[in-house]
Amino acid sequence: MNGNAGNPKASSRKAQIGWAAILLVGVLLIVVLRYIDLEPELSGDPFPGFEDQQTVLVQGLGIHEQCLELRPKQGLDYRYQTSHPLSFDIHYHIDGQPLSQFSETSSTSGSQHFEAQESRTYCLMWVNPREDLLKLSYELKFEVVPGKPQTGIPVRFVSDSGKRRIRIIDTAQNELGSLEMKSDILNFELSPDQQKLAVLVSGVREGLQLFELPGLEKKNSFSLEKAARMLAFSEDGSFLAVADEHREELLIIDLSSGKKEKIELPATLLALETGDQANELLGRNELEVLKLQFTPPLLLERDARIELAFGDQKMMVDPDEVCFAHGIPHPLFTPKAVAMSPEGLPGFLAIP
């Protein structure tokens, strides 16, 4: 006969051991649930409706940013969807500081039209506020002309360290295409409609080369008397202005006919910029800003004023006063070899 039979103390000890075992299993289960994520991992598959668009996984507390050069009245249509709420912002930078143009928080989707008020590099930024991984699918449509958006992806055109190659890369640093040059690259520029890429090289026989996007087919090349480092497209992309820092003249090239014409200048240029108005071109030398036009090629105004936006108002202002005395930036007073910087030139590659 078992000596423990009917012993209440023995039964109590067994019950305590049983409860302790259950408690231990419960603690272990909590630990497992705490440190092992039992939810299915996020895949890189796009959300429904975004199958042919961009999908990225954003790390916890991380950001995803896309930047694009826009001119006044050019629009950008965008839509996105995320796996959990995030913060979204559109901004541009002044002296390295972001200036927000639009923002929203705790959003899991969005679809809007954004219109630029001035020539800037605008950045769309999605911010993951959680420590969990976030999936983001988005589509961008760039308006080549108002009312005609075209689907594509923001990219950067970057010259390599040897200055003989231009790479097109996306935000994930994937190479989407490249151009090889026979002589050193001095500068390059995109047309306002993002359909053409103009490249200046050191070899004057083909000193200016023109390529069509997105396929990078070489469309034409033009000889130059002297290697040049400054160039600007007309607003409609049909003309190119070319200048170098050693000649008091500006070369205007009609890209459809190949015709070249010169404008005599009072001094050599330090910077060249497409104007905000149709057919307008702005140049800067050490003493003044010049207002010119592409066709017919003319110097219209010396010591010209430039248009700057102050909130909803636009004013014609003295560039020397606002850019130097008050520190308000303008493209004419910033380095013009942006394309040759390590970050390269921001652009928009259309999806055929």
Q: What is the pTM of this model?
A: 0.73
Strand partners, 252: 241, 261
Q: Which residues contact 209 (CB under 8 A, 6 or more apart)?
A: 181, 198, 199, 201, 218, 220, 221, 222
Shared domain for 141 and 162, answered yes or no, is no
346 versus 299: the higher-pLDDT residue is 299
Mean pLDDT within 46-52: 91
Last residue of a domain, one of 88, 114, 146: 146
Question: Is 82 in the same domain as 220?
Answer: no
Residue 289 has pLDDT above 70, yes or no: yes
Q: What is the pLDDT of residue 275?
A: 85
Report whether 290 contacts 301 (CB < 8 A).
Answer: yes
Q: Within this chain, do residues 312 and 274 fall inside the same structural domain, yes or no?
A: yes
pLDDT of residue 268: 95
Residue 30's Cβ-count burial label (10 Å; 0-12, 13-18, 19+) is exposed
Asked whether residue 250 falls in the same domain as residue 319, the answer is yes
Are 187 and 288 part of one and the same domain?
A: yes
Please tell me whether residue 205 adopts helix, strand or coil conformation.
helix
Answer yes or no: is 48 within a domain.
no
> How many residues does the structure list for the chain?
352
Q: Is the domain of 278 the same as that of 329?
A: yes
- Split into its structural domains, the chain has a count of 2
- In this structure, are 138 and 168 located in the same domain? no
Asked if 213 and 297 sit in the same domain, the reply is yes
Residue 82 belongs to domain with CATH number? 2.60.120.680
What is the extent of the structural domain holding 202?
A: 155-350
- 277-295 mean pLDDT: 91
Q: What average pLDDT does this structure show over 314-338? A: 57
Say if 12 falls within a structural domain: no
Per-residue model confidence (pLDDT) at position 334:
59
* Mean pLDDT computed over every residue of the chain: 84
Query: Is residue 121 located within the same domain as residue 171?
Result: no
